[in-house]
Amino acid sequence: MKSILKSLGVAILGGAVVLGSYKVLFEPETNKNLETSPATSLITTPVTYNEDTAALTGTDFTEAAEKTVHAVVHVKNLTVSRGNPTMQDFMYGRVPLRQSIGTGSGVIITKDGYIVTNNHVIDNSRALEVTLNDNRTYPAEIIGTEPGSDIALIKIEVDEDLPVVAFGDSDQAKIGEWVLAVGNPFNLTSTVTAGIISAKGRDLNTTDQTAQSFIQTDAAVNPGNSGGALVNNRGELIGINTAIQSPTGSYTGYSFAVPSNNARKIIQDLMEFGFVQKGMLGISGGALNGRFAANEGLSSAEGIYVSEVVDDSGADKAGLRKGDIISVIDGIQIKTFADLSGYIGSKNPGDRVNVTIMRDNKQKTLSIEITKNNTVSIPELDMDFRDMTPDERKQYGIDKGALIVGTRNELAKTDLAGYVIVKVNDLEVENVDDLRGIMSRAQSNQRLILEVRNPQGVTERWRMTVD
Please list the active-site residues: 120, 150, 226
Taking the C-alpha atoms of residue 457 and residue 392, their distance in angstroms, rounded to an integer, is 11
Residue closest to 50 by CA, chosen among 232, 258, 194 = 232
Per the CB < 8 A criterion, the answer to whether 34 and 244 are in contact is yes
- Other beta carbons within 10 angstroms of residue 104's beta carbon come to 24
Give me the phi and psi of 160, to 5 degrees please: -140, 165
Continuous segment of H or E residues that includes residue 232 = strand 229-232
Max Cα–Cα distance, the chain, nearest Å: 75
Q: What is the DSSP letter of 163?
A: P
Taking the C-alpha atoms of residue 276 and residue 61, their distance in angstroms, rounded to an integer, is 35
Residue type, 98: R
Taking the C-alpha atoms of residue 422 and residue 399, their distance in angstroms, rounded to an integer, is 9
Per the CB < 8 A criterion, the answer to whether 424 and 438 are in contact is yes
Strand 125-131 relative to strand 114-117: parallel, antiparallel, unpaired?
Answer: unpaired
Continuous segment of H or E residues that includes residue 239 = strand 237-245
Taking the C-alpha atoms of residue 338 and residue 204, their distance in angstroms, rounded to an integer, is 9
- Other beta carbons within 10 angstroms of residue 59's beta carbon come to 14
Per the CB < 8 A criterion, the answer to whether 258 and 264 are in contact is no
Taking the C-alpha atoms of residue 419 and residue 302, their distance in angstroms, rounded to an integer, is 37
Cα angle for residues 75, 80, 82 (degrees, 5° grid): 145
